[in-house]
Structure 1
């Protein structure tokens, strides 16, 4: 495929730095991961946003998290229709094959995907309404949240409310997956919701008893 070009030089340089330091100092660990396979403790579903560094936030080592990222960190409803479902496939693999004990949906502040959904629903992003927009059709998952938060007058507060509501929408959708529900009922899996304030470095988790996000 002639269109594929060599890796950018800065990536090559960083790779050699990693190979000479981190990998060289932990060869036995990497060999064990390769030979014995992965046994992640948790699955983390988060946004593609480059500012969200899940392994740094939670101090994870290689092999500890099974991470799936997409626009706004959303989980769609269970829909075995024969179409392509990358997020659903990742959830299925994590729960039925890897047997993760915890599944965390992590939202964040200043989320561009959530902002796009907000603007689309407000009529300010007609390009996202097009059937050909992958982003728009993906963000349709969050449309109900716009209506639920429409009573908040301040836009910044409304967007933050939608960011946190996106986590809850995803948790609700996870329960529509039969294998997720079965794992929960068997007490083999726990679901968790969290939200990261990028600027303040704060992580809040959803407390099911109070129905609120609270700082960890």
Structure 2
């Protein structure tokens, strides 16, 4: 930690106090020692939490790269549709297949992640924004279904449905545990309350249509 206090030194103090408990019994009670031991546990949790959160930067870069490839492929389909005067945007570069489902799974890591709380306003906006991005990708993938035969279509639909169901179940769990909830954004002159739950339900309903 920044203060230089570690859980090892904290526990060492607790052990010394327990060893000299007879001499210090007039000053420290058992409740004081238990409280100090609890504080040591919190210091330990904080140290390990900081250690476990170190890879989050690389995970964010990993997600950003996957999202960039999805956006690039969708933009290429958009330009291809305008160039050939096909305004339903044919899926030449971004179609539903095993590769695209894998990339979409990477881009949807934040909404399905139950281990990191992300209780801040920005964290919840990121989770909900990922759901919006999922709806955009689904809309761009739909035209590619018409060019598949029955066997390939069934396999791709099953794989994609499993992904969608997983995302919806994880979002419902986060709503139930209040990880996604109403958040207040405080400015200098006013405060705005944004209900992320309603937005999350809206995007989940759109993904099922």
Shared fold, TM over 0.5? no
Structure with greater strand share of residues = 1
Structure with greater helix share of residues = 2
Larger RCO (CA within 8 A; separation ≥ 6)? 1
Give the TM-score normalised by structure 1.
0.29
Give the TM-score normalised by structure 2.
0.29
